[in-house]
Structure 1
Amino acid sequence: MSLKKAFILAIAAFLTMALASAAFAETKIVIKPKVDAFALFLDDSPSMGQEYMATGNSKVVEGLNALKRLNSVVPELGYKSALYTMPEFTTYSPAATYSRNNIARGLSAVPTDTGFFMSTPIGNSFEDLDAKLSNWPGKFAVIFVSDGLSNTGNKPGIVVSKMAKKYGDRFCLHVISVADTARGKALLKNLASRTSCGVYVEADQLKDKAVLDKFAQDVFYTQEEELIVEVVEEVVEVVPAPVPVEDKIVFRNLNFGFDKYKITDEMLPSLEEAAALLQANPNLDILVGGHTDSTGPTAYNQGLSERRANSVATWLEKNGIEGERITAKGYGETNPKYDNNTREGRKLNRRVEIDIEN
C-alpha cells in the first residue's frame, strides 16, 4: 500500500472512531418583541406650552425630545406603530409597520405652539384613542406623554380602567411625564397603574442612556440568551479495500457556524491529529478547500469560503506543517454536498475539506 493511501486510511479510521457524533454549542442574545403594536400619544393641550422645570423648553418640546430619544433606541422588530396627539385627536404617523424614519418624520411634524383653547379632556381623548385601537390585534402598548393636567370631560382613570378591562393583558399603558405639579404627577402615575404592565418615567430621566435603554426594553422587547446546539452525526465508514489516492478527506467536525470562519476549540482535536499525520508523512501535499451554504450573495460567499480555507491552512502552518505543502482554495457555494433547502443541509455545507494532491 502506498504512503498516500495509508495516510488516507489512517485519517478515515480516526474519523470513524472519534467523530461519529459531533456537537457544537454556543450562546447568543436574541431580541424578541414584547408587543405586536404600539401608539405614541402626545398631549398637545395649552398647558403643555408652559416652560418645563426651568429647562428653557416648553413641556411639549421636552415631551417630543423624550419621544425622539426613545425612537432612536427602539429596535425595528416588525411591530405596528402610530403617532397621535390630543386633545384635538390628530394622526401624525398612521398605523403601519414600525419604521424609525417614519416615526421621526411624524414627530418632526407635530407643532410646538399649542392652541389657545382652555379645555384638556384627557379622558375623552383616550376614548378617541380607543376607537383607533379597537381593531388592533395582539398585544399593544400606548406611550402617553403629558403633564397630567385634565380639567374637563370624562375622568381619565375611569376611561383607562375600562380599556384595561376591555383588552385585558393585551394592553399596556406607559407614561412619560412632563408634569410639574403634584396633581399632574399623581394623575399620570395613577393612569400607568391602571394596567398591570404600565411603566412611569419622567421625561428628564430619559436623558440618561441607561434609563432610556431600560424603559425601551420594559416597553418594547426582551433580551434572551439562547443556547444554540448543532449536532452532526456523520459516520465515516472504514473501507477495507485500498482507497484511491484521489479520494477526498472530509473532516466532519470542521463545520463552521453561520458567517463564521475562525477556528474553534471543538475543531482542535481533529486538526491536531491531521497535523501529526502530515508530520509523519512529509512527502504529502494537501489542498484545503473551503465551502459555504447558499445563504447570502454569491460574491460574499466566495470570500467567506476563502477565509475558511485560509483559517485551516494557517492553523496547520503554525502547527508545524510547511506552508509550501499547503494550498488553500475557496469554492463559495458552488459545490454543495447537502441540501441547502434544509437547516441541517446548510450546516453541513459550511465546511472545510482536505484533498491529497498528486
Structure 2
Amino acid sequence: MLKKIIIPIASITGLALLSGCATEPTSYPNFTAAPVAQATSTAQFKQKTNTVFVVLDASSSTNVTYDGNDSGDSKFDVEKQTLYRLNKTIPANINLSTGIQSFGSGHCLDWSSTKVDQGVTRHSAKNFQAGLDQVQCASGGSPMNKAIAESSAELEKANGNIALLILSDGQQIPDGTLAEAQALEDKFGQRLCIYSIWVGNSYDTSGQVVLQELSNISNCGNSVNVADVTSSTGMAGFVEGLLYTKMAATSHVVTSRDSDGDGVDDAYDKCKNTPAGAVVNSQGCWSYNSVDFGFDSTKITPAFEPLFKNAVETLKKNPNMTVQLEGHTDSTGPEAYNMGLSERRAQAVKNHLVEQGIDASRLTTKGFGETNPIAPNDTAEGRAKNRRVGFSITAR
C-alpha cells in the first residue's frame, strides 16, 4: 500500500535539514554505449516507441548515499547518471521525441513541486542532456502523483506510442499515485507503456514494489533495478526493449525489383550483389554505420564487437568470397588526417576479422576518409551515418 506523506510542523531550520538540498553538480563517469537493435540473419527490429517521457524523482529521500556501489554518490546522482547512459545509448538516427519532468525539488525551494525540465520535443542527445542538467538538486516531498497527473499535458503533444519512464526510490509516495497512473493509461490507452527504474538502497525494497505496481498498470512496460542497467550491455538491452520490437528475420525474396534480396529496391540499391544475410544500409550496401572507435582511435571497443559478428557469419557462409574493407569518416578534422584515420580503421577491422578466423588473404583494405559521405555532415545524425566501415565484394 502506498503511504501518504505527512509534512511535519517544523522550524525553518528543521525543514532545511529534512529537505537535504544537494548542491554539488552530478559527475558523469566515462561510458561507451553498446549498439542496440542491430539486425542479424536471424533477428530484425521495428521501432515501437515514438516518445519517451521521463518522470524523475528529485525529492529529499534521493539525497541519501546510494549503497549499490562504492562511489559515494547519492541516489539522485545515480538517477541522473542512469539517464546520461540512456541518452548515450539511444541511436543517433532514430526518429524520436523526448521530455523530462522532475518532482520534489522546485530548485530546492518548495516542499512538493513538480516541473517540466524539457518539454516534449524532437530528440537530440544535446537537448536531452540540457534538460537533465536543469534538475540541479534533490529536496522536498515526493509528489509523484502530481508529476504523473501533470505529465498528461506534455503527453498530449506526443505523436505515436509513448513510453513513460519513471526513475525513483519509491519512498514516501502519496496515496493516489497508482490512480493517477491508471488515469493516464485510461486516457492514452494502448499508446502508453509505463517503464520504471528503481534506484533504491537495501532498506528501500518497499519502493521497488511501488514501481513494479506502476509498470504493471500498462501491461506493456517493465520495471528494473538500476544495477541491471549500469553496464553498457545492460543499458543497451533496456533501451532496445524500450524502443523496439524484436522479430525473427524473414528470408528476403528475390524479385525483379530486388535482385539480391536484401530488402532494398533495385531502383535505390547502389550495391546489387549483397550476399544473403549481410546487414545493409539504406543504400543497399553491406555496411556498418555509426561505428564509434573513440577519438583518434583504431581500437574496436567490446561494445561494438557484436556489429561484426554478422560479417564473420556472412564470410564463413561464403568461403570463396573476398572483400575490400572500406573505412569512412565524417568531416570533423583535417581532410588528410581523416584519410589516414580511415585507412587505419579499415585495417583494424581486418585484424579483428582475422582474429575471428577469417583468412587474411580474403581481405584487403582501403580508406576513403571523408570523401564519400552518405549523409550531410552538418548534423550529429549525419556524421554518425558517415562514420562507417563498408564491405565491398571483390570476388565470389
Q: TM-score, normalized by length of structure 1?
A: 0.54
Please tell me whether residue 85 in structure 1 is matched to residue 102 in structure 2: yes
Cα deviation, 1:249-306, whole Å, max 9, x if unaligned, reads xxxxxx89934376869xxxxxxxxxxxxxxxxxxxxxxxxxxxxx89xxxxxxxxxx
Match 2:133 to one of 108, 111, 133: 108
Instruction: Specify which structure has the higher proportion of helix.
Output: 1
Corresponding residue for 2:31?
Answer: none
Please tell me whether residue 258 in structure 1 is matched to residue 261 in structure 2: no
The within-5 A match list for 1:92-171 is 92-111=117-136, 113-115=137-139, 117=140, 119-152=141-174, 154-171=175-192
Report the 3-state secondary structure (helix = DSSP H, G, I; strand = E; otherwise coil) of the residue aligned with 2:253.
Answer: strand
Mapped to 1, the partners of 2:79 and 2:273 lie a distance apart of 47
Please tell me whether residue 193 in structure 1 is matched to residue 216 in structure 2: yes
Contact 2:166/2:196 (<8 A) preserved: yes
Contact 2:120/2:158 (<8 A) preserved: no
Mapped to 1, the partners of 2:59 and 2:152 lie a distance apart of 19
Q: Which amino acid aligns with 1:191?
A: L
Corresponding residue for 2:226?
Answer: 203
The within-5 A match list for 1:58-77 is 58-75=74-91, 76-77=93-94
Corresponding residue for 2:379?
Answer: none
Q: Which amino acid aligns with 1:260?
A: C
Contact 2:54/2:164 (<8 A) preserved: yes
Mapped to 1, the partners of 2:157 and 2:275 lie a distance apart of 50
Corresponding residue for 2:362?
Answer: none
Q: Give 1:137 shift.
A: 3.4
Mapped to 1, the partners of 2:213 and 2:254 lie a distance apart of 49
Q: Which amino acid aligns with 2:126?
A: N
The within-5 A match list for 1:1-358 is 30-53=44-67, 55-75=71-91, 76-87=93-104, 88-111=113-136, 113-115=137-139, 117=140, 119-152=141-174, 154-180=175-201, 181-224=204-247, 225-232=249-256, 258-260=269-271
Mapped to 1, the partners of 2:126 and 2:230 lie a distance apart of 21
Contact 1:72/1:100 (<8 A) preserved: yes
Contact 1:28/1:228 (<8 A) preserved: no
Corresponding residue for 2:342?
Answer: none
Contact 1:32/1:77 (<8 A) preserved: no
Cα deviation, 1:38-61, whole Å, max 9, x if unaligned, reads 102211111111111154111111
Instruction: Specify which structure has the higher proportion of strand.
Output: 1
Q: Tell me the percent identity.
A: 21
Sort the Cα spacing of 1:264 and 1:95 in 2 relative to 1 into closer, same or farther, 3 A: closer
Q: Based on CA coordinates, which of the two structures has the bigger radius of gyration?
A: 1
Unaligned runs of 5+ in 2: 1-39, 105-112, 258-265, 277-282, 285-321, 323-396
Q: Give 1:145 shift.
A: 0.5
Mapped to 2, the partners of 1:260 and 1:136 lie a distance apart of 37
Mapped to 2, the partners of 1:263 and 1:74 lie a distance apart of 28
Report the 3-state secondary structure (helix = DSSP H, G, I; strand = E; otherwise coil) of the residue aligned with 1:184.
Answer: helix
Cα deviation, 1:157-207, whole Å, max 9, x if unaligned, reads 121122222222111110011122122111111111111012111112212
Sort the Cα spacing of 1:130 and 1:230 in 2 relative to 1 into closer, same or farther, 3 A: same
Q: Give 1:150 shift.
A: 2.6
Sort the Cα spacing of 1:256 and 1:189 in 2 relative to 1 into closer, same or farther, 3 A: same
Mapped to 2, the partners of 1:90 and 1:256 lie a distance apart of 50
